[in-house]
Amino acid sequence: MTDCKYDVLGLGNAIVDVIAQADDDFLQREGLGKGSMALVDEARSAKLYGAMGSSIIISGGSAANTIVGVASFGGKSAFIGKVKSDDAGLAFTHDIRAVGVHFATTPAVTGPATARCLVMVTPDGERTMNTFVGACQNLTVDDVDKSLVEASAIVYLEGYLWDPPHAKEAFVKAALIAHAAGRKVALTLSDSFCVDRYRGEFLELIRNKTVDIVFANQHELKSLYQTADFDTAVAALREEDILGVVTKSAEGSLVVTRGATQAVGASPIEKLVDTTGAGDLFAAGFLFGYSRNLEHAECARLGALAAAEIIQHYGARPETGLLQLARDNGLI
Amino acid sequence: MTDCKYDVLGLGNAIVDVIAQADDDFLQREGLGKGSMALVDEARSAKLYGAMGSSIIISGGSAANTIVGVASFGGKSAFIGKVKSDDAGLAFTHDIRAVGVHFATTPAVTGPATARCLVMVTPDGERTMNTFVGACQNLTVDDVDKSLVEASAIVYLEGYLWDPPHAKEAFVKAALIAHAAGRKVALTLSDSFCVDRYRGEFLELIRNKTVDIVFANQHELKSLYQTADFDTAVAALREEDILGVVTKSAEGSLVVTRGATQAVGASPIEKLVDTTGAGDLFAAGFLFGYSRNLEHAECARLGALAAAEIIQHYGARPETGLLQLARDNGLI
């Protein structure tokens, strides 16, 4: 898969994260479901920001985090997503380009501000997110550069793209172009509530072979198959006959195919600080390994390593070069 | 000193830090003096930002960091500094108020943007800073609220205030009001190059008793007395007959009075990440202890504890509540 100009192209919401510590009382007082991602409008976002503690601002966005992770492993990567030409949009653009990611989506000059995600991190390291999708509402099929998709070995799409009005059309267009060019298409289910909102469509994407690889955590997988029993959900995923990658937090991950289910352990950590981006960076490691034609279990080990790095500090962008980290751990 | 409404009032440049990792080659290529703070104009700031790596944005400003640290110890604190009413200014205002600091300086609505400091952190944890002072240029004597100064047990002033054109007048006004009301005035020398720029004026502030307490690190103290020999500089400081507090990085600190020089060790750390704010947070701990009438050595121990917290993560605002940390370490 190395004859392509890019190893992985991500398509997702371009978001800046505003991260603050919060306690459980705060979540309760503000009516926030712990561990979830809720959509909010600009007014609610501003009100919640006013109530939040002192914060740090770091570029985010689920697929964008993954793409930055791929670049940190030394992979060639690109991103499509919509910011506005405001301060946050400039920061997002700077940060993703600074790590060598190709990012050339035209920013919006009018309309809502660059998307921001208010991330509240509780003392247990869990993150609770409230997202104002802002300028992401302006992502359309016109932003999907055909030649860029064709030049990418894997196209990685986030389920969150179903939230803005037109981004799902961009998603489908990118997937069709990729398959026509013989490329692979991967999907992350993003969030269990997101699965709740678009369950039928996500199942359709899997069953009509729009996607070849699906990433999910336990909650998302159970939501997808509307079961409280994880094993039942895994069994259902096996029946789909695609490559399924299921993360289980501290319990590691499962690589699920029709033929087999392989379990891979999590990487050890010293101290859990902030789980934001754990799934995104797991996907980064997995996809990087996949682009290098590594065994699935090896891909999952790279994913676990990247996830372990990201949860030991605030924010969902790596603070340590993942290529060196992988070498130091004897994984590549 | 607890009959005042505020324990410590800070007056300083209101700055947002943009922090990125960088290697020594980068500093050399950009002609940056490692460990220093250089002033840059908006164009140079933008150019350097473009060359920097992926960054995180955290409220900063030397005296502002100190004041936030005092609040984190449970002290009552206030801040005077000038932002513009732009995104960065709103973030600065949010962050300092979110930790309970009184901050009511009127933001500028026209003129240059909120000040930003580009902080490059090398693998050894050292930080190199380039500051565009922006809206801080608009801080004047009119921003010094007489009743606020009178209501504060200690007024803490940063040497960096000598850089914008009119802030030094605000500095002197605040000091005079404070002394007339029987309050204490503290000064940090800020940076050895800052001392180089304003040596005569800083010595004058010390010798004409405009300030009662002076904070300096080794480099700043040697610069103040234009000597390469630290002991000579300390001896000169003793002659000034004020309370001198000299930080020596990993070697701890000295409390210098005419009568005695007391050495206090540094607090142990697990891993040095980013030295940004070490001096600011040392001052926070010291001043908090001083406001509680603790012995000088105890004040220095609180300073060392706060400095140790801040250098183990990126940014100069505490990630851990300092009051609890001090209790956990048996210091209060």
What is the DSSP code string of A41-84? -HHHHHHHHHHS-SEEEEE--HHHHHHHHHHHTT--EEEE---B
d(CA A93, CA A115): 13
Let me know how many helices (H) and strands (E) chain A has, helices first: 12, 14
Q: Quick one: closest CA in B to A317, which residue?
A: B54
* Among A residues 96-115, those touching chain B with beta carbons less than 8 Å apart: 96, 98-99
Are B98 and A54 an interchain contact pair (Cβ–Cβ within 8 Å)?
A: yes
Helix locations, B22-135, DSSP H: 24-29, 42-51, 62-72, 87-98
pLDDT value at residue A307: 98
Distances (CA, A) of B114 to B16, B39, B46, B89, B154: 8, 14, 13, 6, 26
Contact B202, B224 (CB under 8 A): yes
* Residue A226 Cα, gap to closest chain B Cα (Å): 39
Are A55 and B20 an interchain contact pair (Cβ–Cβ within 8 Å)?
A: no
Place of tokens 């047990």: B153
d(CA B290, CA B296): 7
Assess B42–A contact: CB distance below 8 Å, yes or no.
Answer: no
Which stretches in chain A have pLDDT values below 50?
Answer: none
Assess A39–B contact: CB distance below 8 Å, yes or no.
Answer: no
Contact A44, A144 (CB under 8 A): no
Are A54 and B59 an interchain contact pair (Cβ–Cβ within 8 Å)?
A: yes
- The count of CB pairs under 8 A between chains A and B is 62
CA angle B319, B321, B322 (to 5 degrees): 110
Are B94 and A319 an interchain contact pair (Cβ–Cβ within 8 Å)?
A: no
State the CB neighbour count (10 A cutoff) for residue B59: 28
SS3 B326: helix
Residues of A in contact with B116 (CB under 8 A): none
Burial level of A46, CB count in 10 A (0-12/13-18/19+)? Answer: middle
pLDDT value at residue B3: 83
SS3 B75: coil
pLDDT value at residue B2: 54
d(CA A237, CA A211): 13
- As given in the structure block, the two tokens for residue B136 are 């801080």
Assess B85–A contact: CB distance below 8 Å, yes or no.
Answer: no
Which among A87, A313, A315 has CB closest to B87? A87
CA angle A19, A22, A28 (to 5 degrees): 125
Q: Quick one: closest CA in A to B319, which residue?
A: A21
Distances (CA, A) of A261 to A231, A315, B22, B284: 11, 31, 42, 55
State the CB neighbour count (10 A cutoff) for residue B176: 14
Neighbouring residues of B328: CB distance < 8 A, sequence distance ≥ 6: none
Q: Which of B21, B26, B54 is the best residue to mutate to test the A interface, defined by the most A CB atoms within 10 Å of its own CB? A: B54
- Phi, psi torsion values for A217, nearest 5 degrees: -100, 180
Residues of B in contact with A56 (CB under 8 A): 56-58, 315
d(CA B292, CA B299): 9
SS3 B217: strand
Neighbouring C-alpha atoms within 13 Å toward the C-beta of B56: 25
Give helix B296-310 / helix B62-72 axis angle, nearest 10°. 110
Are B54 and A56 an interchain contact pair (Cβ–Cβ within 8 Å)?
A: no
Q: Which of A54, A57, A317 is the best residue to mutate to test the B interface, defined by the most B CB atoms within 10 Å of its own CB? A: A54
Are A57 and B54 an interchain contact pair (Cβ–Cβ within 8 Å)?
A: no
Assess B54–A contact: CB distance below 8 Å, yes or no.
Answer: yes
Are A91 and B55 an interchain contact pair (Cβ–Cβ within 8 Å)?
A: yes
Which is nearest to A93 in space by CA: B111, B50, B120? B50
- Residue A143 identity (one-letter amino acid): D
Residues of A in contact with B91 (CB under 8 A): 55, 57
Are B55 and A95 an interchain contact pair (Cβ–Cβ within 8 Å)?
A: yes
Which among B52, B94, B96 has CB closest to A49? B94
| Length of chain A, in residues | 332
SS3 A237: helix
Q: Which of A16, A56, A324 is the best residue to mutate to test the B interface, defined by the most B CB atoms within 10 Å of its own CB? A: A56
Burial level of A238, CB count in 10 A (0-12/13-18/19+)? Answer: middle
Which is nearest to A19 in space by CA: A310, A320, A321? A310
Are B21 and A319 an interchain contact pair (Cβ–Cβ within 8 Å)?
A: yes
- Residue A189 identity (one-letter amino acid): L
Q: What is the DSSP letter of A114?
A: P
Contact B290, B308 (CB under 8 A): no
Are B54 and A20 an interchain contact pair (Cβ–Cβ within 8 Å)?
A: no
Assess A319–B contact: CB distance below 8 Å, yes or no.
Answer: yes
pLDDT value at residue A184: 98
pLDDT value at residue B1: 59
d(CA A299, CA B194): 51
Assess B269–A contact: CB distance below 8 Å, yes or no.
Answer: no
Q: Could you please state the CATH topology (level 3) that the domain comprising A6-14+62-89+136-328 is classified under.
A: UDP-N-acetylmuramoyl-L-alanine:D-glutamate ligase (3.40.1190)
SS3 B47: helix
d(CA B105, CA B140): 11
Helix H or strand E encompassing A275: none
Segments of B233-290 assigned E as strands? 243-247, 253-256, 261-264
- Domain boundary assignment for chain A: 6-14+62-89+136-328
| Domain B6-13+61-111+137-328 superfamily per CATH | Ribokinase (3.40.1190.20)
Which is nearest to B155 in space by CA: B241, B283, B250? B283
Contact B117, B18 (CB under 8 A): yes
Assess B55–A contact: CB distance below 8 Å, yes or no.
Answer: yes
d(CA A120, CA A132): 14
Helix locations, A73-212, DSSP H: 87-98, 146-150, 167-180, 192-207
Q: Global pTM? A: 0.96
In Å, how far from its chain's centre is CA A184? 17
Which is nearest to B8 in space by CA: B287, B289, B331? B287
Which stretches in chain B have pLDDT values below 50?
Answer: none
Are B98 and A56 an interchain contact pair (Cβ–Cβ within 8 Å)?
A: no
